[in-house]
Structure 1
Amino acid sequence: MSYAKIQELLGKDASYLLDHESKTISKDSIHLPGGDFIDRTFVESNRSIPVLRSLETLYSSGRLGGSGYLSILPVDQGIEHSAAASFAPNPIYFDPENIVKLAVEAECNAVASTFGVLSNVARKYAHKIPFVVKINHNEFLSHPAQFDQTMYGSVEDAWNMGAVAVGATVYFGAQESRRQLLEVAEAFERAHELGMATILWCYTRNSGFKKDGVDYHTSADLTGQANHLGVTIQADIIKQKLPTNNGGYTNINFGKTHPDVYSKLSSDHPIDLTRYQVANCYMGRVGLINSGGASGGESDLAEAVATAVVNKRAGGQGLILGRKAFQRPMNEGVELLRTVQDVYLSDEITIA
């Protein structure tokens, strides 16, 4: 896709997003993506040779292979949002093979899904596209609904099906978060022992994070701290929602922060807010991939491209985008994923 087409999709926001010059955290401070990212950032770490090989496999696969960027298809919504809510718009994805086919056809770096989905097709596909097994999930069959993350299997099971990485979620801010932190930290340690990479879904979850009609679950300061806790338990890649505002700490009036976060280290521009998320991933030593969000219908393509532009120009490393792709016919899903990849392949879209 041409740069002109990207501009067209961005519409009235094209100049706002493509011409922005960040005056907050300098791009020179960020460990930027690139084909040598693993060599620059992980070779001197405690990651073993098998873990480095798994990371290189992720970063070297698909259309974005060798660029330092990631395009991952995540489909764990059959549990997180119920199978009906996830797959009724496009019932072919009740069949696990079609989930993996979508990632293969779109030439994603990897496919992330559940034990059940990936195990059902492991012998056919685990050597054709990197597998990321999501090892814990919420579930919505309890009544009243519970919001927790439960382990659905073992790291060893993921390793035995040929996965190169495991993924997990921690609901930072929730009452159960400390138990989840312990479980995931232990699972990530075991994954590294077995030579697999680790990806953490760093989500915030607490009813108190909403105040006066404003939702701070995706504020830059709270999600940034969630990212910082994620890299602390040695996640190799952080998945986070794109920030939509700031001032969670100050407006809710809890925890500890610093005025410079709001006056010097960020602004109200989405690229600067996302750069603060990157900064909390050890200044980009650990890659930040943003989620694509829910499907909104006809606006999905433009929204996905805008998210990719923000992530890339902030210093992030890609998108992990699911519902916008699989809740539509497969050919359209492939086209959407490839269009997002085009943003990362464009030399004209640079770090702000």
Structure 2
Amino acid sequence: MPSNKIIELLGDKTDFYLNHTCKTVDKKLLHTPSSSVIDNIWINSDRNIPTLRSLQTILKHGRLSNTGYVSILPVDQGIEHTGGASFASNPLYFDPENIIMLAIEGGCNAVASTYGVLSSVARKYAHKIPFIVKINHNELLSYPNTPQQILFGTVKEAWNMGAVAIGATIYFGSNDSRREIVEIAEAFEYAHELGMATILWCYLRNDAFIKDGIDYHSAADLTGQANHIGVTIKADIIKQKLPTNNGGFTAIKFGKTNAKMYSELTTDHPIDLCRYQVINNYMGRIGLINSGGESHGESDLKDAVITAIINKRAGGMGLISGRKAFQKPMKEGVELLNAIQDVYLDQEITLA
């Protein structure tokens, strides 16, 4: 039986989330997280030995060490959402050292942030917690702003500061997406040559993805295909928003579909929707981490735990949660990160 704290948070939704059985894609078909994921899955790939070592470095750090699951703190919102908007509620995070300290105190596997944040404290902390350098951003200050990710530095620069991985975003569906796909594919190739792992933020951006008042930017079918392109350019881990609905292709009337995508591979249950994302990651060979999303205040702890349960039971490998953690006092941020990790440590919460 899962912990009393988790059951208390779920309340009347306990059965809905913890006892759901996935009848779409059988869990036996999935490649699932484990302590031997490098030996069981990655050893068969073309990744070189230094890259495997970098992946193992992430997997062996923090409270989730040797489980195959990861909990990552991402703080690139100072660029993506403006520093003032991101840190007004907790100005101490304008100082990069406090970002690193939150990741360490929170028991995270790694910390992901910008060149500037990580390089400013690299000599002190790069050997204490794995660094993931986010190499591109939508800088937001250009007016009018357009969904366009641009490089902020070089892969070699990330390697020089001791990073074990690089992260990048592609805005799939945007007018700029084809340039970004080519650019990031090349960056990932070089990162692998240098022995760094690669993490791709597979986000969708297109005003046409909002149809009849319904937002399909996190639809399972659209995000699943974004994942499938992401693993094609050799992302080692895919970061994706938790699916909130489905039928983006059919509503917007583009792309190619098969009726079985909606009738047999998914249902409207959040775990089944998330499993559709997992299967598009080569049946889980490439790990799926879902984002924690924005902070909503008092509901953050419950929301984070539910997201972790959905991800884990669907076959994902963890959560990457930032704003829910750093937009509150550090002690509360640590508690939230630990609550997420407790879901993955709880052996009673199993694959659906």
> What's the TM-score once normalised by structure 2's chain length?
0.99
Q: 3-state SS of the aligned residue for 2:290?
A: strand
In the TM superposition, 1:166-315 aligns within 5 A as: 166-315=166-315
- Aligned match of 1:76: 76
- Aligned match of 1:120: 120
Partners in 1 of 2:83 and 2:2 — Cα distance?
36
Partners in 2 of 1:334 and 1:303 — Cα distance?
15
Q: Is this contact kept in 2: 1:73–1:322, CA < 8 A?
A: yes
Counterpart amino acid of residue 190 in structure 1: Y
- CA displacement at 1:345 relative to structure 2: 0.1
Q: 3-state SS of the aligned residue for 1:298?
A: helix
- Aligned match of 2:12: 12
- Aligned match of 1:63: 63
> After the TM superposition, which of the residue ranges 138-147 and 237-246 deviates more from structure 2?
138-147
- CA displacement at 1:2 relative to structure 2: 6.2
Q: Does 1:139 align with 2:103?
A: no
- CA displacement at 1:300 relative to structure 2: 0.2
- Aligned match of 1:52: 52
Counterpart amino acid of residue 7 in structure 2: Q
Partners in 1 of 2:153 and 2:38 — Cα distance?
29
Counterpart amino acid of residue 50 in structure 1: P
Partners in 2 of 1:87 and 1:231 — Cα distance?
33
Gap runs ≥5 in structure 1: none
Gap runs ≥5 in structure 2: none
Partners in 2 of 1:235 and 1:218 — Cα distance?
20
CA offset digits 1:283-317 (Å, max 9, x no partner): 00000000000000000000000000000000000
- Aligned match of 2:22: 22
Q: Is this contact kept in 1: 2:38–2:52, CA < 8 A?
A: yes
Partners in 2 of 1:44 and 1:237 — Cα distance?
16
**Percent identical across equivalent pairs?**
67
Q: 3-state SS of the aligned residue for 1:133?
A: strand
Q: Is this contact kept in 2: 1:218–1:243, CA < 8 A?
A: yes
- Aligned match of 1:335: 335
- Aligned match of 2:326: 326
Counterpart amino acid of residue 268 in structure 2: D
Give the aligned length.
Answer: 352
Counterpart amino acid of residue 93 in structure 2: Y
> After the TM superposition, which of the residue ranges 224-233 and 33-42 deviates more from structure 2?
33-42
Partners in 1 of 2:37 and 2:257 — Cα distance?
31
> After the TM superposition, which of the residue ranges 290-299 and 134-143 deviates more from structure 2?
134-143
Q: Is this contact kept in 1: 2:147–2:176, CA < 8 A?
A: no
- Aligned match of 1:3: 3
Q: Is this contact kept in 2: 1:54–1:196, CA < 8 A?
A: yes
Q: Is this contact kept in 2: 1:139–1:146, CA < 8 A?
A: no
Partners in 2 of 1:214 and 1:2 — Cα distance?
35
Partners in 2 of 1:336 and 1:85 — Cα distance?
21
The alignment's C-alpha RMSD in Å is: 0.9
Q: 3-state SS of the aligned residue for 1:168?
A: strand
Counterpart amino acid of residue 60 in structure 1: K
Counterpart amino acid of residue 294 in structure 1: E
Q: 3-state SS of the aligned residue for 2:334?
A: helix
